[in-house]
Structures are given as structure tokens and as C-alpha cells.
Amino acid sequence: MDVTNPIKNSEVSSSCHCCTGGLHQAKPIGNPSRRSLLWTGIAGAIAATTFGMREPASAQSTLSPEAALQALLDGNARFVEQRLTSCNEDLAILKENTVAKQEPFAAVLSCADSRVPVELIFDQSIGHLFVTRVAGNLATSEVIASLEYGAAVLSTKAILVLGHANCGAVKAAMEGKAVPGQISQLYALLRPAVDAAAGDLDAAIRANARMQAHLLATASPLLAGLIKEGKLKIVAGYYVLDSGKVTLLG
């Protein structure tokens, strides 16, 4: 079951053209025969049954934690290879099927950095991911509460804490320079990772992602209970800006 693309229709006006650069026009083949029309109708009925009549939410909620995590990685592989499939989904149908409810299969705690478009890098569309974003991908109390809601109420099966290369928040915390407004409030939360990295920015970014994932898994009794029951996985990951690849951090 391809939960990442439950509803595909590459020839509807509401589809995104980012994957293909536009819709391809079919070449005329002359007047179709009665038999060809019959088979076209049968093929269309099969396609509608397979792709157009499934609600993405109900299909996603049956995934195991391992399958949910793999769906994220598979989507990222498509992103890296520039063969996105979420662009072929009928956005009108997706929106209609997610008005009354949402059942995303995974959650992502990401940095607020504009270079980390979460749904895009995992090749997902409406209703598939529950995303929280804050500079430095920090597991603050508000973020933990949001992810608890995702896991306990929406039944997300995996939570990925996603750090990324050249993270400005971690870099600023490492430099410790004076900054305007309340930006410096992030420093204290990032300090454990900075101290553990001994001046290595990339190591600090990776350490921070691991620490925030560990915090989620241990500071929240609700999330810890779901993990113990085998209903949830929490992992850390690292996103490379130039290649677009996400790797899991052990």
C-alpha cells in the first residue's frame, strides 16, 4: 500500500507541476474503436478504484512505526532522485478528504529554516505529516505538547527530529554573540549540544538532534508509554542542504 500517494491523478487541473514541468498532451490517434473505448473505460474504473476512492487518512493510520519511518525515507529518496510523486495527487480530493479529520502517519520536528521544506523533502502532500517547526528543532514544552497530540490523538506512528547542515540557530549559540530581541533564549537550550561538540558546528547540529529526540522519548510519559507499547518510534535525522538527503542518526 503506497500511503505516500493514496490519490493520484496526473491529468487534473489542480495537480502540481513541479515534478514534470507541466502536463503532457496526449497525441491524437484518430477515431477510437468501440473496443478501445471499452478497454479505456475498464482501465479508468480500475484506476479510480485503486487511487481515487481511498481516503488518505484511513490508509495511513494502519502503518506500523517501522513502516511509517520507512515511508519518510522512501519519500526522501524520491526527492533526492528528483522523481516526486506527491505532485501527481489531486489536491482537490486531498483537501476534501481531510476537512473532517486528519490522520498523519508521521510527525517531524524540524528547524524553522526556510531551506528545510519538510513536506517537499519527504515527498508528502496534504494530511500526511504532522509538522512542528522551531529554530534549532528544539523540544520545548509547547512542541512536546503538540507532538503528544499528534501521537495520542492523531495516531502518528513515528516522530523524526530533523537537524540540518549549517543550522543558524546552533551556529549562533556556538558563537554566543549579542543578538536583538529574544533570540538569545534559544542559546541555553542548545548549549548542551554545543558543549558536547567541542567547537565543531556539524557535530553540534547532529548532537542537538539526538538530544532533542532523547528528550522527547524520556521527558514525556505519554510518548514513552507509546514507545514501550511498540506504537511509536522516535528517531533523529540529519538533512544535507545541497544533496537533499536525510540520514538517520544512531
CA distance 113 to 172: 13
Condensed to tens digits (0 to 9), the pLDDT of residues 73-92 reads 999 999 999 999 998 888 88
Give the Cα separation of 52 and 45 in Å (integer).
10
Q: Containing domain of residue 161, as a range?
A: 56-249
Judged against a pLDDT cut of 90, whether residue 158 lies above it is answered with yes
176 pLDDT above the threshold of 70: yes
- CATH code of the domain in which 148 resides: 3.40.1050.10
Looking at the domain assignment, is residue 2 inside a domain?
no
Q: Tens digit of pLDDT for each residue in 5-45?
A: 433 333 333 444 455 443 333 333 344 444 443 343 333 33
Report yes or no on 45 lying in a domain: no
Instruction: Report if residue 31 sits inside a domain.
Output: no
Instruction: Kindly tell me the burial class for residue 202, based on how many C-beta atoms sit within 10 Å of its own C-beta (0-12, 13-18, 19 or more).
Output: middle
Residue 121 and residue 236: Cα distance in Å, rounded?
Answer: 16
pLDDT of residue 143: 98
Q: What is the pLDDT of residue 61?
A: 64
Helices (H), ranges, 48-100: 56-60, 65-80, 91-97
Please report whether residue 176 resides in a domain.
yes
CB 182 within 8 A of CB 158: no
To the question of pTM greater than 0.85 for the whole model, the response is no
**Residue scoring higher pLDDT (49 or 18):** 18
DSSP 50: I
Q: Is residue 29 part of a domain?
A: no
% the chain with pLDDT above 70: 76
18 is a domain residue:
no
* Residue 28 to residues 23, 25, 38, 198, Cα–Cα distance (Å): 15, 9, 18, 66
In the predicted model, what is the mean pLDDT of residues 92-103?
A: 88
Number of domains in the chain: 1
- Sheet containing strand 129-133, edge to edge, reads 129-133, 106-110, 158-164, 233-239, 246-249
Query: Has residue 9 been placed in a domain?
Result: no
Find out whether 192 and 211 touch, Cβ atoms under 8 Å: yes
* C-alpha–C-alpha distance, residues 171 and 169, integer Å: 5
pLDDT attached to residue 96:
87
Enter the C-alpha cell of residue 62.
494502519
Q: Is residue 16 part of a domain?
A: no
90/27 Cα distance (integer angstroms) = 23
